[in-house]
Amino acid sequence: MDTITDPSINVMPRIGDRAPEFTAQTTQGQISFPSDYAGKWTILFSHPADFTPVCTSEFMTFATMQQDFQRHNTELVGLSVDGLYSHIAWLRTIKEKIRFRDMANVDVTFPLIDDVSMKVAKKYGMIMPGEAETQAVRAVFFIDPEATIRAIIYYPLSLGRNFDELLRVIKGLQTADAFNVALPADWQPGERVIVPPAGSCGTAQERMEGTTEGIECEDWFFCTKELSAETIAKKIHR
């Protein structure tokens, strides 16, 4: 069956679903997903192909930021529908030959899944035939320590991802969980956060009258409070 008529490519895990399980060979040995990552956040991401320039720039960027993600208890797992020997040769070439921006000699130490069979890519809805029948798109799954999918971002083949945004998503999800708040557009740690609906933090009237400490309301449905970057860091950094 060709990719375009294969119904299994239409599987699309959703936010709130449990991360589909699989075992796979990777550049760091065999993994059982998500069980090997219990207790950690994981970013499972796909790229279209080894030995391609946008993907190379992405891997160099992700590998260089790996410690920032690990400080947020987050591990990275890559995937493409290439085989293990291709992955190994590509990562060696990146380390030995490629310079990009201020990055050189970049060692990619997070696992990169061999998915020649497309078994994993299909389970995660990473094959989008309208974009490419034989390659994965740039999918990003944010999976929490209980193996629940918490956010998903897809990019097309021609556009490299913004890795500061991926880190912001991790910080935002962890901050929302830890402090029972929501985060407004373009939020960065240290900026005011949105407090939950009236009831959990004073009544709507108390908030509007300013009698609920620290909470400022523009209207009954739009209330914010300060949450310092230091307070967040104390709770969610390793």
Task: Give the footprint of ligand BEZ on residues 134-173 (CB under 6 A).
Answer: 157-158
Q: Are 66 and 110 in contact (CB under 8 A)?
A: yes
Q: Which two tokens stand for residue 134?
A: 């034989």
Structure tokens at 25: 């060979």
Catalytic-residue membership of 55: yes
Q: Which of the ranges 8-16, 29-37, 51-59, 121-129 carries the binding residues for ligand BEZ, by CB under 6 A?
A: 51-59
CB of 52 to ligand BEZ, least distance (A): 3
Q: How far, in Å, CA of 23 to CA of 33, rounded?
A: 6
Determine the Cα–Cα distance for residues 35 and 1; give it in Å rounded to an integer. 31
Of 16-24, 52-60, 109-117, 191-199, the segment contacting ligand BEZ by CB under 6 A is: 52-60
Q: Which of 24, 43, 55, 121 binds ligand BEZ (CB under 6 A)?
A: 55
Stretches 44-52, 94-102, 167-175, 230-238: which one binds ligand BEZ (CB under 6 A)? 44-52
Rounded Cα–Cα distance for residues 134 and 103 (Å): 30
Smallest separation, CB 160 to ligand BEZ (Å): 8
Please select the residue that binds ligand BEZ; options are 25, 27, 52, 66, rule is CB under 6 A. Answer: 52
Which runs of consecutive H residues, i.e. helices, occur in the chain?
53-64, 66-70, 84-97, 119-123, 163-179, 204-208, 229-236
Dihedral over alpha carbons 48, 49, 54, 55 (to 10 degrees): 90
How many residues touch ligand BEZ under the rule CB under 6 A: the total is 8
Rounded least distance, CB 57 to ligand BEZ, Å: 8
Q: From residue 86, how far is each of 97, 165, 215, 237 by CA, in Å?
A: 16, 29, 55, 35
Is residue 43 near ligand BEZ by the rule CB under 6 A? no
Verify binding: residue 53, ligand BEZ, rule CB under 6 A.
Answer: yes
- Of residues 79 and 227, the one with the C-beta less far from ligand BEZ: 79
- Cα–Cα distance for residue pair 198/219, rounded to 1 Å: 11
Cβ of residue 7: shortest distance to ligand BEZ, in angstroms?
25
DSSP state of 87: H
Contact residues for ligand BEZ (CB under 6 A)?
48-49, 52-55, 157-158
Which residues are known catalytic residues? 55
